[in-house]
Each structure stands twice: as C-alpha cells, then as structure tokens.
Structure 1
C-alpha cells in the first residue's frame, strides 16, 4: 500500500478543467457544520427509523382510537339520543351493586359523543392470597344494563403499541420508544441545520426526478408540520419523564404521605382505604354528578369513581373531562359516599405538575373538538410520510453510487428490505387486525390476544415477502395487497354484521361509517403508491453508462465533487 493511501486523505484529485485548471492536487475544504449535521441527520434517522415509522403510524391512528374501538365492537348499537350524564351515572351505579358486590373500588366512564356506551371497571376481591384483579364491562346508557360485545383490544392496541411496542416487558418497550424519540428529536434539529433552503424548498417540488423528487417530498413534509413534529416528539418524552429520569422523585419523596400527594397531583385515581366493616348505603351518585355539572357546565363530567362503596368510609370522586382544557392535570370533586357531602374540591396542582399536564395535553390532543383531532391526524400522517420518505431516500441516494446497482452489498439489501416491510408491510398488518376482528370465532379463547397475534403474523410474512421477492415487485405487491384489504373492508363488514356502510350512513352513524370511509381513502392512497412504483422506470446509473461506453466515470465524478466543494 502506498503512503498516500495509508494516511488520512486531506487532498483529492480533480479533473484538468476543475478547480485549479491544471489537474494538480488541491487542498480539500474542511467539513463545515452543515456537512457534520447532515451525517448526524442521516444516521439518527436511519438507525431507528423503522421503529419511528411504526410509532408515527400507530400514533396517528390512535387519535381516533375510540372510534376504531367502537367499529371493532359492532354489537354496540348506535345511540342517536343519550340520557343526561347524571341519570346514566345513577343507573349504572345501581347496576354495579349487583354486578360487582363486595368490590372495594369501581370506576365509571360516562358516554359522550365519542363513546356510545358507558364503561366501568372494578376490583375483584382477592381469593386464596391471589393478587387483586380487575374486571370491566360496557353498559347501555338507556337501561344501565351490561352490553355483550366481542372481546377485542380495539384501537387501544395501536395506542399502547406506539409508545411501548409489544411482546416485551412494558418498561423495555417504553425505554426503546424513548430512545427512538430522542433520535427523532436529534434528527429534526440536525435536519433544520442541514437544509439551509428548507423553507424555500417547501414551495418547490420536482416530479419524476428520482432522488431530487424524494428530497423535495421529504423537505415539504418536514416543513409542513415542523412545529408539530418538534412538539409531539418532545412532549412524548415528557409523558414518560418519571421513567427516564426517576432520580428526582427517588430523592425527594421519602414517605408514603408524599407519595400520595404526588399521585393526587398527577391523576384522580383514588386508592381505597381500609374498610370500616360498617355497612352503609351509597349516597345518590346522580346528585353528585349534577353538583359537578352545576360548577363546571353540562356534559363536563367524564368519570365517576367510588372507593369502598357500601361501607361507612366510602368516598366518591367526580372527575372533570378533558375537553376544552389544555392541561391534563386532574380536576375532581370528592364527596363523602354516605352523606353525599362535598369533602374536597381539587382544581389546582403545583407548577411542575401543571407544566407536565400541559405537555401531556398537547401530546394527546384531547382538549380540542373534532376539527382539532383531524388536524392532529393529518399533520401526524405527514410526519409518518416524512419518516418513510427519509428511509426511502437513503436507498435512492446510495443506489446511484453503487458499482453494480443490480448486485448491492449486504447492508444496502438489509435497509431496502426493512423499508419495504415497514412502510408497505405495516399498513397491511394493521388492516389484518380489522379483518381478524370480523373473522375470528366469537367464542375463541383469548380472542383479543389473537387479533394482535394476527398483526405480527402478517407483518412477519410481509418481511419474508420483502426478502424473497425482487424489491420493485415486493413494493407493488405489498402496497397493492394493503389497498385491496382496506377497499374490501366495507364488503367484509356487510357480510359479517348487520351494520353495512350504506345502513350506517342512512342512520346517521358517523363514527361507524367514518372508519370505513377513511379506510377507503387509505386504500386509494396505497393503490396510488403501488401504481406509481409500477410505472416508474429507473434511469441508468452513471456507472452503468460508463460500462456501456467503455469509459471510466471517476474523473467526471471527481470533477463534479470538486466543483460542488468550490461552491
């Protein structure tokens, strides 16, 4: 090996017409901040990019998780008219006396425009030293009776997956999600520094220009939701800050009383005290809810929680809903469960807890109305496309530099196949869960878990398909299959339930019909992408043209690099 090759290169060869004009060696310019940030942006975006894509896509869907959960429980009828919340709370509280006798705690979520039925969970008294467990059920607001519905995790699965994944201990999944979010934050900041013309490029899109088109799309999607992407990434880290940085809590909280105070600052979930053993009937829940509505306004109550119901030390908390409030900090009224007397009004928390509450509220977006939720959904979808286009751009850019694009090296093939499995395979896997919801037997043991298993079985098959098929064919086939699965979802629903799309539209059931209409829109999007890939004809690479003409492309490449560096 010659001396110049054995030492770090600080010079580069240039063509005779470049730089100095005589073909001599010229000093290479030192790498600037933008070049350094470019490398950081590329590798932080790539290394966990597939996790980020999955987090963004499932998080986007989660903004309508309640609507999706309702679609996945077709046995729950559409409620055109709802009784008063106070009346519903009173009815179901009386039902829980017989459904959950002897429980030390029950909590009831009242129906609203996004929930057709009420949902309650309650503690099951331990037996033979077993740990306490919970049961839950849905209740008809008109009658107060239990509603039978198929077992499913519904949209809650996508919500949980987007910040803790699956098939691993919950803390591990949340740590992995936090690491991916930190990489995302670094990628956003370094991307802004790298692209000095990012805002002007937002108004420029060159269609059909290969790498240039991917870069234009990536820039436009990045700038379109840049404030949102920064906010959603940072606030996502804040939501789990006590997991990632537990030391202040460990150092500052050294007694059970302080622990209880911290809990009350962060949520309204009451822990039951020791029962007195003296039986006493529960006071009117309806009157307590009416008192809360008198203070906060009609429809403002979201949840009713009772501890030690039927005992002399019973307490009832009436929790305020999140609508119209930016902060997620708890607000509730605490009543004596026997006399119905107001014991405590919890409306304020400390500055630190309120800051956290605002951050969590911004991340979840539950403070707004339907228009706000749609805005969150669309900008988050743009973020998903931003991550996906960045992953694809990595392969598009490097394919042009390969000596033989038809036989890329192992690292390139791994990235390319993972891109296909993540970007084209995940939407198909998520749709498979909706198909499983309609096709799995209703009496199947652990049916909800099997719906989730189907997601990962289909996703694994998509990965195998991406490995075994040529990349271009794999893109077309997986995108086309995802489009077909979504497009046929209304047909499947019509064949397996009595709530066909046209019937839901005629009954004014916007939630049930909306899920299928959005599915059709996504089907059109995936079909359009599949057709775009099918029509695309990659241009010959520089290396391929050089082999065809029998000349070397190195001088031209070096000249271009020198001219670009001189700029």
Structure 2
C-alpha cells in the first residue's frame, strides 16, 4: 500500500472512530449489562428465577379489553416475565376506534401502545412498581440502543453500528501487514502514545470477530426498516410480499378462546422440559386471525431450538409448522440467527459471561483509541489547539468513564427507593442521568485525564462494593445465604458487583500519573 492510500485509510479510521466513540462506548458498556437483564430484574425485585409458567391467554386478552384499549386489528405479544404476564402491542394506525360504554380511555390512548405487566394470579395490573413500570435490566437494555432518545435514538444507534463496521474494516486494512506481530507487541515501558497504541491494537485484534459480529447485527437490527423500504419498492417478490414481511411475517386473527388449543399444543411436549412459551395474536378480530406460538425446550442440540406453529383461529387449521430439530426457511433463519448470536442465546451462562468480558474489552479499545488521538496531539505543533483538544478529551473521557459509576449508582438507588414509591423509576432514571452529566461536567472543569480515570474507577469501586451491602440491608438476601435460599440471581449479581468493585477499587488506588514528553 502506498503512503497516500495508507494515510487515507488511517485518517478515515481515526475520524470515524472518534465521531462514534462516546455512542459506541455506551452501546457496549450498557449492552454488557443488558446481557443479564433478566438476572438483574430478578435481583431488583427480590424474586427467585422460576421455570415455565402457563399463561391464561383468555384472561389476559379480557383484561386488556377491560382496560379500554381498541382491540380491532391489534398484534399482541404475550409472554411470561418476572413472575407476571407481559403484553405488548404497537400503537394502532389508520383504524377507527370501536365505541363502547366500557371504554375508559380516550381515542388516542385506546389506540396507543399497550405495554402492560399483569399479575400471574389475578391478571390485574401488577402492583409491584419494579415490575409493572420500568425495571433496571430493561432500562440498561434500552440504553444500549439509545431508546431514551425519542424517535431517532434507535436509528442513531444503527448509524453508530454502521460507522463502527467502517472503522473496523479500515482498521484491519491499516494494520493488516503487521496484525500478527502487533498482537504480540505490548511495550509497557515505552511512551504513552506507544502504550495506548499497543493496547488499542492488541485488544482490537482479540475482539475482532466479536466486534465485527456486533457491528453487522446491530446495523441490521436498528436500520432494517430504513433500508428495506426503498428496496421493497424496487424488488417485490412473485407473491407481492415485501422483504420486511419475509423477515418479520405479518399474519391475521379474531377473538376466540385459545387456552384449550394451547393446552393441547403443550401436551405434545410432555417428554421435554419446556423453557418458555411466546405467543403472538395478529390482527385481532379479523376474519383471518391467526395465533403464532413459539415453544422452547431445554434441548440445546439445535441452534434454532424452538418449535413454531401458526394456526388460523377461525378453524384452527395449521398454517405453518417448524419442529425444533429443523431450521426455519432462509429469510426467517437469517433473522433468527442474527438475534441468537447478538444476544448470546446459544451457549448458556458461560457464553454470556464471555460476551460480557469481550464487551468490556471493546470499551477499553474505544478508550485507548481516544487516548492515542489525544496523546498524538499533545505536541508543540498542536499548541495552538491545546486548550480545545484538552476540553474535547475531557468531555470524551468524562462521558465514557462516568458511565461506570453512574450505573453502579443506579443499582444502589434501586435498593434505596421503596418498591411502592410513586414514580419510583422516573426518579431513579433522572438521578442516574444527573450523576452521569454531572461527572462529565466535572471532567470538563478539571481537565485532568488521570484524575478523570482514577476518580471514576474509585467511585465505581466503592459503590460496587456497597451494592451487595445495600441489597442485604434492603432485602435480607445477603449473598452468602441467597444461593442456599434459591435466589441464584441475587447471589450472581451481588457477587459480580463485589468482585468488580474490589478489582476496580484496587486499580484506582494503584494508579500513578505519567507524563508525556513534549515533542
């Protein structure tokens, strides 16, 4: 490669990486925790992880209707989660509200989004604030694709994923000739620039397949609708179905009792331990209404370890069937495969722990990349931009490194605020944001990279150690006895925070400032 081409790829890699660095760090750091969102939710609510719970679908549908929602044409997702029944339906569009004296909602609310958590015994709205509203695990999951930013957050995360893929490809091109030798090179006693460069390159190579996978799958998840619409207009299939309909098929249903049919379906799985059941009712009240049901068992011989059935509700005719031993059709299989590898749903807890470690390593790659950029500009030739570069660096590092103690702070808050407190999670969310923004502002004021790093680690370390203490005081589930009592998720989360807190605090106390020579 000539010098000109090398410089083009190098500068492209640097610019694209710097532009997305904060967003990318948030995606991977929050995403690392989101891998264990169910465990975190169990820890927050002080509940034991339960096995499969059979849902009363008729009562669930009756409760939704009783709440006053317009049910005509609804696509309903119904599944068990955290000791209750979750129901979700996107807002209705271009439909006429069915007028009823029973309706307690106005037109916009009745046609709006349904996002309910019902008690699994009474099928009333759950009174547990930690479950019926927002949960910590769900919040972190949504944070990793910027869902808190209205309308554009999801697409912004997709653009970050695309630029991340771009940065990976240009980075591989830049380092290709020395990618093996650089992997084994780590010069701890050299200058700061060389130290950060070696760390950035070595850790980048270690996580390369992992990072590439997330860049591709994240792009597809967040930008599928955007890229599919123009393609659909150009390339319809022979049946008139769009590409999006192939990937996320659309079906149609009507109001009918479905409990007996689901009982009959599940009886065929008596020889297997059912892990989960997920049901969707499409186009409720429509004459061609259908029930789509997925049944997962603990058999892990197949990657696509679920049985899928689609029935037309008017006559219970089987429209589609996929046994667990077979792969689904290509279009659906590709979507399922992307989902499976993105969430690590194919290798149990040990794979998710590996994903967690690799996600944190990716965060280190982001930080070291920023440090390479900053140290490279700590020269006399950049003295006219020294103040600007210092400010930008402080904001970048404060925003990224401040997320760690902010999340630890959020864990502490969930064990501080009473579960029945009104607007509990709204307060927790705002206090999390205030802490994070506050640390970024503090970083901008002090403009000391060493102090920004050390203080973030110190705060996170102290709060990480306090998290199991707060949980023990709040719930009585001290980690040394929670496992014996069957609260495995409480034990897992507490022990993880205790270890992470101790290691982080030790690193913070051992850190020593280093000076970069002016050149």
Shift of 1:257: 7.9
Q: Which runs of 5+ in 1 are unaligned?
A: 1-28, 544-567
TM alignment of 1:99-138, pairs within 5 A? 99-100=63-64, 104=71, 107-110=77-80, 117-121=83-87, 127-130=105-108, 131-137=111-117
Indicate whether 1:371 and 2:350 are aligned: yes
CA distance in 1, matches of 2:362, 2:88: 38
Indicate whether 1:343 and 2:318 are aligned: yes
TM alignment of 1:304-343, pairs within 5 A? 304-305=279-280, 316-321=291-296, 324=300, 326=303, 332-335=308-311, 341=316, 343=318
Query: SS in structure 2 opposite 1:72?
Result: helix
Indicate whether 1:491 and 2:491 are aligned: no
Shift in CA distance, 206/319, structure 1 to aligned 2, threshold 3 Å: same
CA distance in 1, matches of 2:284, 2:230: 37
Which residue pairs with 1:184 in the alignment?
164
The answer on whether the counterparts of 2:155 and 2:223 sit within 8 Å (CA) in structure 1 is no
The RMSD of aligned alpha carbons is 3.7
Shift of 1:285: 3.2
The answer on whether the counterparts of 2:30 and 2:140 sit within 8 Å (CA) in structure 1 is yes
Query: SS in structure 2 opposite 1:366?
Result: coil
Which residue pairs with 2:186 in the alignment?
205
The answer on whether the counterparts of 2:48 and 2:487 sit within 8 Å (CA) in structure 1 is yes
Which residue pairs with 2:95 in the alignment?
none
Shift of 1:369: 1.6
Query: SS in structure 2 opposite 1:440?
Result: coil
Could you tell me which of 205, 208, 231 is aligned with 1:248?
231
Shift in CA distance, 473/240, structure 1 to aligned 2, threshold 3 Å: closer
Shift in CA distance, 150/255, structure 1 to aligned 2, threshold 3 Å: farther
Q: Deviations over 1:135-183 (max 9, x none)?
A: 5225458x989864333332122222222342332xx223322222222
Shift in CA distance, 495/202, structure 1 to aligned 2, threshold 3 Å: same
CA distance in 1, matches of 2:232, 2:478: 52
Indicate whether 1:56 and 2:24 are aligned: no
Which residue pairs with 1:22 in the alignment?
none
CA distance in 2, matches of 1:60, 1:78: 22
Shift of 1:185: 1.4
Which residue pairs with 1:392 in the alignment?
371
The answer on whether the counterparts of 2:30 and 2:141 sit within 8 Å (CA) in structure 1 is yes
CA distance in 1, matches of 2:288, 2:329: 28
Could you tell me which of 33, 42, 48 is aligned with 1:78?
48
Q: How many residues align?
A: 486
Shift of 1:51: 1.1
Shift of 1:430: 1.5
Q: Which runs of 5+ in 2 are unaligned?
A: 92-97
Q: Deviations over 1:203-243 (max 9, x none)?
A: 23222432222222111211111111111111211223433
Shift of 1:525: 3.9
Shift of 1:301: 4.4
Which residue pairs with 1:424 in the alignment?
401
CA distance in 2, matches of 1:366, 1:249: 30
CA distance in 2, matches of 1:318, 1:360: 17
Shift in CA distance, 154/272, structure 1 to aligned 2, threshold 3 Å: farther
CA distance in 2, matches of 1:392, 1:459: 21
CA distance in 1, matches of 2:393, 2:369: 12
Which residue pairs with 1:459 in the alignment?
436
With the length of structure 1 as denominator, give the TM-score of the two structures.
0.75
Indicate whether 1:299 and 2:274 are aligned: yes
Shift in CA distance, 421/118, structure 1 to aligned 2, threshold 3 Å: same
Which residue pairs with 1:548 in the alignment?
none
CA distance in 2, matches of 1:414, 1:451: 29
Shift in CA distance, 288/268, structure 1 to aligned 2, threshold 3 Å: farther
Shift of 1:54: 0.9
With the length of structure 2 as denominator, give the TM-score of the two structures.
0.81
Which residue pairs with 2:216 in the alignment?
234
Shift in CA distance, 65/271, structure 1 to aligned 2, threshold 3 Å: farther
